[in-house]
Amino acid sequence: MALRKFKPITAGTRWRIGNAYAEVTTNVPEKSLLEAKPRTGGRNTSGHLTMRYRGGGHKKKYRVVDFKRNKTGVATVESIQYDPNRTAFLALLVFADGEKRYIIAPQGLEVGAKLESGPNVAPEVGNALPMRNMPLGTNIHNIEMQPGQGGKLARSAGSSAQLANKEDKYAVLKMPSGELRKVLIDCYATVGVVSNSDHSLQSMGKAGRNRWKGIRPRNRGVAMNPVDHPMGGGEGKASGGQPRSRNGQYSRGLKTRTVGKSSDKLIIQRKNGSKIGNK
CA angle 245, 250, 254 (to 5 degrees): 140
Contact predicate 231/45, CB 8 Å: no
Q: What is the pLDDT of residues 106-151, one digit of tens each?
A: 999 999 999 999 999 999 999 999 999 999 999 999 999 999 999 9
What is the pLDDT at residue 240? Answer: 87
Residue 159 lies in a domain: yes
Residue 154 lies in a domain: yes
State the Cα–Cα distance between residues 59 and 66, nearest whole angstrom. 23
Residue 84 lies in a domain: yes
| Three-state secondary structure of 41-63 | CCECCCCCECCCCECCCCCCEEE
Averaged pLDDT of the chain: 94
Mean pLDDT of 59-84: 97
What DSSP string describes 176-218? Answer: TTS-EEEEETT-EEEES-BS-TTGGG-B--SHHHHHHTTB---
| DSSP H/E element including 11 | helix 11-14
Residue 178 lies in a domain: yes
CB atoms within 10 A of CB 195: 24
Percent of the chain with pLDDT over 90: 91
Residue 241 lies in a domain: no
Sheet of strand 114-115: strand arrangement: 100-104, 90-95, 75-81, 114-115
Q: What is the pLDDT of residues 34-60, one digit of tens each?
A: 999 999 999 999 999 999 999 999 999
Residue 183 lies in a domain: yes
State the Cα–Cα distance between residues 63 and 209, nearest whole angstrom. 22
State the Cα–Cα distance between residues 139 and 77, nearest whole angstrom. 21
Whichever domain contains 165, its CATH number is 2.40.50.140
The separation between CA 245 and the C-alpha centre of its own chain, rounded to angstroms, equals 24
What is the pLDDT at residue 279? Answer: 45
SS3 content of the chain, % helix, strand, coil (to 5): 10, 30, 60
On the question of pLDDT at 180 being above 90, the answer is: yes
Residue 222 lies in a domain: no
Percent of the chain with pLDDT over 70: 98
On the question of pLDDT at 77 being above 80, the answer is: yes
The domain of 176 spans 24-199+258-269
Which residue type is seen at 71?
A: K
Q: What is the pLDDT of residues 186-241, one digit of tens each?
A: 999 999 999 999 999 999 999 999 999 999 999 999 999 999 999 999 999 888 88
Our count of domains for the chain comes to 1
Residue 253 lies in a domain: no
Mean pLDDT of 11-35: 96
On the question of pLDDT at 277 being above 60, the answer is: no
Query: CA–CA distance from 136 to each of 139, 227, 278 (Å)?
Result: 9, 55, 28
